Amino acid sequence: MKPNIAIIILNWNGWEDTIECLESLYQINYHNYEVIVVDNDSKDDSIEEIKKFCSNSNNTLKSERNIDIKMFEYEEKDFHHVNPYLESEKTIRNLILLKNSKNYGYAKGNNIGIRFALRVFNPDFILLLNNDTIADENFLNELTKAAENQERVGIYSPKLLNAYDHKIIDSTGHIISWGRIIDRGHGKIDKHQFDKKINIMGAKGAGAFYKREMLESIGLLRESYITSYEDAELSWRASKNSWKAVYVPKSIIYHKGWRSIKKDNSKWFYFWGLSLKNTTSTVKEYGTFYQKTIFSVFLIYFMIGSFLLRITRIRNSGVNYAHLLKELYK
């Protein structure tokens, strides 16, 4: 029997993207999976629009694949009282909608979905998927194929491509560069230079495939990292605990990127500042002395560049580079 997959999608005021993501998921060539949409207290029409999508009268997938979507909707106070589900019929797909009472951010929002999935569905793997992604119909087949007979591999990364220009790479997995984790190949033109299956550090959270045993062993996303670098910290923590990660180039996901932050441009530099802070904390915790030194050089270079090119913006970000450098060697 093929592995049981729980797919977690976090939604916050983004029902248009979420529905496009769901439409792609319900047409993939893989059947043993469940979809959990975690809504982070959206203030737009997300809940009603997702319900509308699932209803038979408005389900555009019914005529294409003869699929009915059955939705189960839960308030936050009821999350711990849901009993495990039985396997659905092949022509019926479930959609679980978990409605948080507040916006918990990326890490805690996803962790709520992960904990629910682990308890209710007992999955073999957890797939974190950004709501602004579109899945290729074969992506999950390729991920599960790569995971066959791999005991100490805990993370699998698909190839993430730009949803607006499929020739541009978003990520081919996490690697270490300048002492910190980055997305390999980000922004480069896809010339098939990253089409070999290789070991990496981890996977970008926009499309990250995690083994259940690994998450139970090392824990979930770090909730103190409110808005960025949560996925990188988990990748590094997994590596430090002897879990391997593999890049799967034939598994394709298209990513729009930074959609939630772009909705509020006034917070862009706040998020940027938090990203540097979280990066520094992660390098401090897991990095070698050499990696800390290289990252310090990166910080100094970034500080000078920001001062020369973006003096106004650097003030808006609230980044204190001297403090970050001091923190790194405490």
Domain ranges of the chain: 5-262, 265-328
Q: Is 84 helix (H, G, I), strand (E, B) or coil?
A: coil
Cβ–Cβ < 8 Å for 12, 42 = yes
Amino acid at 63: S
**DSSP letters spanning 267-306:** GHHHHHHHHHHHHHHHHHHH--HHHHHHHHHHHHHHHHHH
pLDDT, residue 317, reads: 58
Structure confidence at residue 114 (pLDDT): 98
Pairwise CA distance, residues 222 & 218, whole Å: 11
Sign of the Cα pseudo-torsion (225, 259, 104, 93, in order): negative
Alpha carbon distance 129, 207 (integer Å): 5
Q: 190-229 burial, b if ≥16 CB within 10 A, otherwise e?
A: beeebeeeeebbbbbbbbbbbbbebbeebebbbeebebbb
The 10 Å Cβ neighbour count of residue 51 is 15
pTM here is 0.90
Q: Can you count the helices (H) and strands (E) in the chain?
A: 12, 13
Q: Which ranges constitute the DSSP H helices of 78-178? A: 105-120, 139-146
Confidence at residue 118, expressed as pLDDT on a 0 to 100 scale: 96
pLDDT at 57: 44
Candidates 2.40.50.100, 3.90.550.10, 3.30.390.30, 3.40.50.720; correct CATH number of 5-262? Answer: 3.90.550.10
Residue 20 has a CB neighbour count (10 Å cut-off) of 17
Per-residue pLDDT, 139: 98
d(CA 255, CA 257): 6
Q: Which residues pair with 128 in a beta bridge?
A: 8, 208
Low-confidence ranges of the chain (pLDDT < 70): 56-66, 85-91, 258-271, 305-318
- For residue 29, what pLDDT is reported? 95
For helices 321-328 and 289-309, give the axis angle rounded to 10 degrees. Answer: 180
Instruction: List helix spans (H) across the chain.
Output: 15-25, 46-54, 61-65, 105-120, 139-146, 212-218, 230-240, 259-262, 268-286, 289-309, 311-317, 321-328
Which pLDDT score is estimated for 95? 94
> SS3 for 169?
strand
Distance CA 330, CA 316 (A): 26
